[in-house]
Amino acid sequence: MLFTADHDEPRRILQKFIAAEINPHVDAWEEAGIFPAHELFKKLGDLGFLGLNKPIEFGGQGLDYSYALMMAEELGAINCGAIPMAIGVQTDMATPALARFGSDEVRKEFLAPAISGDYVACIGVSEPGAGSDVASIKTQARSDGDDYVINGGKMWITNGTQADFICLLANTSDGPVHRNKSLICVPMKSKGVQVARKLDKMGMRSSDTAQIFFDNVRVPKRNRVGEEGQGFTYQMMQFQEERLWAGAACLKAHEAIINATIEYTRNRKAFGRSILDNQVVHFKLAEMQTEVELLRALTYQAAEAMIAGEDVTRLATMVKLKTGRLGRELTDACLQYWGGMGFMNETPVSRAYRDSRLSSIGGGADEVMLTILCKMMGTLPGTAKAGNA
């Protein structure tokens, strides 16, 4: 069993925190297009939620991955997608490789304050010409004595305008594209780091997203995470956690939209009866609830495999693919049943529709997930079957 009685108390504390410290402010943060990351993360850090499965010696709780997944699932109760995503970047996207492969020195400097909430972190992988195609990134970190000198740019960086450091993927040699990259912790206050602009997004409005440029940014090589040239491999490992996080974080959000749609259609009348009384509506909502439970089961299965030390590439890829597809189908169906009100920004289904669209793009597009699965199945042209690991 993934969750036990030991998960009940941290779950209860997190639920209480979300109800008191986050949801009352979500509408204002959405309107402002930003939320106070340092203030909120510090509160979460004080409660121990930014390092549930991180090493104790750097301020973490030292628990297994099930606690991180529990947190991701509970974050789905937040009344938007942006705040859960921003928190997930801190816990499950920008810091897993740092926690696992970083030297004690670099973990003390960057991981410990990220766990305590004193630092806000962001992850720097995507570029204008290299989103899902990570191997094609162009940002360079040239060796110069004991330093790297970084030039290039990153795009669509969540937490980017407020972050204290970026876990940056950059080319550190001219070798093969899968073995020439390194992850480097770069302080955002470093000379030459420029937050070019805060991006205006369709959804995820309350999370700040930035375009960032690096102009001869000099950082010590001790800021590198793990071995030089292993950055691509480390990032692929981080993607597994990110993809499981995405699956878990949408579950309660989807259920909330289903329940809100049931309530709205029960009270909305057309042609002499409630919208909910139409078979096409209540059947579709039953199908959507079933799909949510199927995604939950797949996500839990993948998490259990990860805890057991298994390679979860196949399952995590399936989770990510299903998360993106279900987010689009479910919110689109529910919005339709709200009629004209579904098109209004004031309704929760409109926000869910806009926020969920990112799930099929961020962290690897649906088409990339399908390519990975086809390669593993041996059905991708020009590849042999790689097995079902």
Rounded Cα gap, residues 24 and 235, in angstroms: 35
CA 202 to chain centre: 17
Return all residues near 52 (Cβ < 8 A) that are at least 6 apart.
Answer: 10, 60, 61, 63, 67, 68, 71, 91
Whether 242 is a known active-site residue: answer yes
Instruction: Give the active site residue among 30, 241, 242, 255.
Output: 242
Rounded Cα gap, residues 48 and 123, in angstroms: 21
Convert the chain into a string of H (helix), E (strand) and C (coil). CCCCHHHHHHHHHHHHHHHHHHHHHHHHHHHHCCCCHHHHHHHHHHCCCCCCCCCHHHCCCCCCHHHHHHHHHHHCCCCCCHHHHHHHHHHHHCCHHHHHHCCHHHHHHHHHHHHHCCCCEEEECCECCECCCHHHCCCEEEEECCEEEEEEEEEEEECCCCCCEEEEEEECCCCCCCCCEEEEEEECCCCCEEEEEECCCCCCCCCCEEEEEEEEEEEEHHHEECCCCEHHHHHHHHHHHHHHHHHHHCHHHHHHHHHHHHHHHHHCEECCEEHHHCHHHHHHHHHHHHHHHHHHHHHHHHHHHHHCCCCCHHHHHHHHHHHHHHHHHHHHHHHHHCHHHHHCCCCHHHHHHHHHHHHHCCCCCHHHHHHHHHHHHCCCCCCCCCCCC
Residues annotated catalytic, as ranges: 242
